[in-house]
Structure 1
């Protein structure tokens, strides 16, 4: 083989690609959306609250105009309201995104989801159904609606479902059985879809973070130093992650050259938490 720079070094640019990012107004999406824009992608932010999502999209665009130095215009950033636990809403929204951007989305990053802390014996049935519908079925619905037009048009794509270390370990001290269950399901969903859709050249992987210092997490541990200390004591690196520390993993899984042979994989980025 004749080796060249182009076929030896992976390319993390995303020029010409359209990324759908669910949980689009959240703390993790805030930094991921900026990275996607900086790498040349168009970005569609999807979340429950349209007002917050529009504001998030506006902030990403302003950041790009002030920060990204590029010879080509920045990609389009749009905002959409959608409940990912509602299959019909997802299908409609994803179709509208493709129409609005004038292309078929070929990168999906599903960060939408939430956690609740109830002792298992006290977990309300409606809450249990709700979290499974969003975290579990929601991951399936967005994957379906993303993949269908790619399959129909014989186009490749990459799906990155945000799992959690909680999908393979049990957190302590907080009780969260249904969250752990839902994230274990997301990890195995990705493996299942990866096997089914490999023939369509659609790669499906999970990124499973440990504890992240998002604004929501900072609010949870504010005034509860015992919780923060308990978490960090179980992390070999003795600290929680900053959202930006997941950008490299996202770009790796999104890249058609860097991760071209990676599918069905659960990439754990947890500061070593699972090692103990």
Structure 2
């Protein structure tokens, strides 16, 4: 066996996590998790379209990402752009995706959908309009952005990978905070992924879900540090995690790159990958 044969053999077995030439749409693009994931995408060669509700905030995130890439001597730096979009508005979503595709003169083939939010109300006291708004953004917004990306891929005859961010809250009930609307929205996201994966497999579009546990994002750390009951809440959460700590955003990079890779996860679709430090085991 020649050296060339050995290299060919290795490359056919060991997957690549490079994303060169891929166009990634990253919603919630200015959030704590997305900031870390965007660096990983750029480091792996993907062009990144950051999408968030506030244009000025997401533009700042894009500028900081470019500065980070320059500091890491990434050359060439992939094309990084910033877009404003309300994912809970289907027309806004379709318009935003169309503009992204036009800007890149291609079709985005990778979605990492982190946009969403949580509220804590007891079920009996939850204002109906607030519950409806949350489910609209977290669940229907996940459907709108997935559908818009997928339509473009189908029209272009191009394969793709869609990764929705669910939550362990979609399979368990968090304690002590009451968050019924968030829980049902994330449970819906998990089953949405399964439904879309089955429908779109014929188009070579894979749809998967990453469900994190508690994440020590800058926002979470701020809340814990400034809320009178923050430290007690953190202690309660961590006491129920076998690893006994919250996750750092970088600990989800490997899962995202696996699901994004066309070789590493080529046979993975409709999956809900729970990364929660073992929380649901107890």
Bin the TM-score by the shorter chain.
over 0.9
Name the residue aligned to 2:214: 211
Give the SS at the match of 2:116: coil
> Which of 201, 214, 218 is 1:198 aligned to?
201
Quote the residue 2:66 is aligned against: 61
Correspondence 1:38 to 2:43: yes
Single out whichever of 214-223 and 28-37 deviates more from structure 2: 214-223
Aligned residue for 2:161? 158
**DSSP-derived class of the 1:149 partner:** helix
Matching of residue 52 in structure 1 with residue 50 in structure 2: no
Q: Deviations over 1:44-95 (max 9, x none)?
A: 000000000000000001100111444xx11100000000000000000000
1:275 aligns to 2:257 (yes or no)? no
Residue 220 of structure 1, CA deviation: 2.2
In structure 2, the residue corresponding to 1:61 is in which secondary structure? helix
Would you say the 8 A contact 1:38–1:68 is kept in 2?
A: no
Equivalent pair of 1:11/1:255 in contact (CA under 8 Å): yes
Runs of 4+ more than 2 Å apart: none
In 2, Cα distance between equivalents of 1:25 and 1:153: 29
Question: 1:78 aligns to what SS in structure 2?
Answer: strand
CA-based RMSD of the aligned residues comes to 0.9
CA contact (8 A) 1:191 1:264 kept: yes
2:180 counterpart of 1:174: no
Which secondary structure state, in structure 1, belongs to the residue aligned with residue 124 of structure 2? Answer: helix
Structure 2: runs of 5+ lacking an equivalent: none
State the 1:122 CA deviation: 0.2
Q: Determine the structure 2 residue equivalent to 1:138.
A: 141
How do residues 69-108 of structure 1 correspond to structure 2 at under 5 angstroms?
69-70=74-75, 73-108=76-111
Aligned to 2:255: 249
Please state whether the residue corresponding to 1:253 is helix, strand or coil: helix
Q: CA deviation at 1:215?
A: 1.4
The count of residues paired between Structure 1 and Structure 2 equals 273
Residues in 1 aligned to 2:88 and 2:231: alpha-carbon distance in whole angstroms = 34
Instruction: Tell me the distance in 2 between the aligned counterparts of 1:141 and 1:69.
Output: 33
- Residues of 2 paired with 1:108 and 1:28: CA distance? 14
Q: Which residue of 2 aligns with 1:4?
A: 9
The answer to whether 1:230 aligns with 2:230 is no
Q: In 1, distance between residues paired with 2:74 and 2:19? A: 15
Tell me the TM-score normalised to structure 1 length: 0.97
What TM-score, normalized to structure 2? Answer: 0.95
Query: Which region of structure 1 is more displaced relative to structure 2, 10-19 or 216-225?
Result: 216-225
Is residue 117 from structure 1 mapped to residue 123 from structure 2 by the alignment? Answer: no
1:261 equivalent in structure 2: 267
DSSP 3-state at the match of 1:121: coil
